[in-house]
Amino acid sequence: MLPLRWINHATSRRALESLFACLLLTTTGCASATLPSDSSNSVNACHTRVVIAFAQNPGERPADDLVMEISRASNVALVFVRAAGPGLYVFQLDANDADDSCSAALARLRGDARVRSVDLDERRHVLG
Q: What is the pLDDT of residues 60-92, one digit of tens each?
A: 788 999 999 999 999 999 999 999 989 999 999
DSSP conformational letter for 10? H
Mean pLDDT of 3-13: 54
Within the chain, strands assigned E span 46-54, 77-85, 88-95, 115-120
DSSP conformational letter for 39? G
Q: Would you tell me how many other CB atoms lie within 10 Å of the CB of residue 40?
A: 5
- Phi-psi category of residue 122: left, alpha or beta, with phi > 0 → left and psi -120 to 50 → alpha: beta
Res 115 pLDDT > 50? yes
Q: How far apart are CA 51 and CA 48, in angstroms?
A: 10
> 34 pLDDT band (50/70/90 cuts)?
very low
Res 117 pLDDT > 90? yes
Decide if domain 41-120 falls under CATH 3.30.70.
yes
Across 4-8, 32-36, 49-53, 121-125, the highest mean pLDDT is recorded for 49-53
Percent over 70 (pLDDT), the chain: 62
